[in-house]
Amino acid sequence: MTKTTQYVSRQADEKGVIHWTDEENAVWSDLVARQLDIIQGRACDQFMHGLELLNLPQDRIPQLHEVNEVLERETGWQVAKVPALINFDEFFRLLANKQFPVATFIRTREEFDYLQEPDIFHEIFGHCPLLTNPAFAHFTHTYGKLGYAASKQDRVYLARLYWFTIEFGLLRQQNELRIYGGGILSSPGETIYALESDKPERHRMEPVEALRTPYRIDIMQPVYYILDGLDDLFELAELDLMALVEKAKALGLHDPKFPPKPQKMAS
């Protein structure tokens, strides 16, 4: 999680409505149009079904209450408006209460292709379609409860499991690889790279291995983990995940598949 951000979340008025600018709505519209084209045949069926249920507007940023009406009906979840950055305590607390954090800002044109902070496009378009799915919603809720009770050290391990499932997970569907991770599905470059590049390693999901795998947030992923189907998240949620964290800690981390992050030169 980045420590600082140039972005500030927009506040809602007394009726809970956020007043986005024409340019912010235009950025949303362009992001959605581009990504809808790219995910065809690449996103898993459950994601596409969730998009249909949400029926997100393409010409403007949706209001959170519009998303909440669908999520509440389907799985009992809500989205919650948060600042551009929140700490892990708040992140896990929200998930434990079936509230998915959504920072109410959208990227600028200068960061149209990639930004490190999760903006409203990443959270609403990338994650909310699958929060209509019972397996995905149950796993995310379980993960939140475990993380909220976990130690700081154990949260670092749990973050890796989240990364390789909710953010950057792949699955098999109809004998093909498909995407369910929101970090991929909100990124045009990684949507193609994750499935079609010969550079990354792709392994069947083994929770202990995922817990031991380092990652970087600012590069195309060198490693992906694959579920046999989205319902595997039900089974994953029912494992003793904290015992698996202890096993991962005892075994130690795998060597990173990427170079160290460049250090900024002191001015």
Q: Tell me the C-alpha distance between 247 and 240, whole Å.
A: 11
Residues 163 and 215: beta-carbon distance below 8 Å: yes
**How many CA within 13 A on the CB side of residue 88?**
19
Structure tokens at 17: 């409505």
Tell me: is residue 122 an annotated ligand-binding position.
yes
* Pairwise CA distance, residues 177 & 43, whole Å: 9
* Cβ neighbours for 146, distance < 8 A, ≥ 6 positions apart: 158, 241, 242
* Helix orientation angle between 134-149 and 152-162, rounded to the nearest 10 degrees: 160
Q: Report the C-alpha dihedral over residues 194, 216, 50, 232, rounded to 10 degrees.
A: 80
CB 130 within 8 A of CB 182: yes
Q: Report the C-alpha gap between 230 and 172 in whole angstroms.
A: 9
* Residues annotated within a binding site: 122, 127, 167
Annotated binding-site members for Fe cation: 122, 127, 167
